[in-house]
Structure 1
Amino acid sequence: MTAFATGCTVAASDAAICAGTAGDRTAHARALVQDGGPQSRRTGALLIAKVDAGCAS
């Protein structure tokens, strides 16, 4: 999370990030419980890409 906080160069709305990733965060948590493997890696990659997009300049 430190890289996320220090890597942002554009002020992003916390509310928008939270709302925009809510479903993906839930899916990721479910995948981790179900298999902890390939499904979790896919949902994690999607979640990370969306969070990273919030910091894009």
Structure 2
Amino acid sequence: MAQRAEVLAAIDAYAMGSADLADHLILSLAQGEGSTTLLTFDRRWLKHPGCEVP
């Protein structure tokens, strides 16, 4: 798997966080590609560093 590190990081974050696994996976994969910000309307997810309102 090309993005094994990102997937494992998402699983670890999910185990400790309050968001869904899919949310953590999207953020981890985006960060792996160099993104610094994830745009979301999810109020719970907006509390996470790296997420903001579009």
TM-score range for the pair, normalised by the shorter chain length: 0.3 to 0.5
Higher relative contact order (CA 8 A, sep 6+): 1
Instruction: Name the structure where helix makes up a greater proportion of residues.
Output: 1
Instruction: Name the structure where strand makes up a greater proportion of residues.
Output: 2
Pair member with larger Rg: 1
Normalising by the residue count of structure 2, what TM-score does the alignment of the two structures yield?
0.38
Normalising by the residue count of structure 1, what TM-score does the alignment of the two structures yield?
0.36
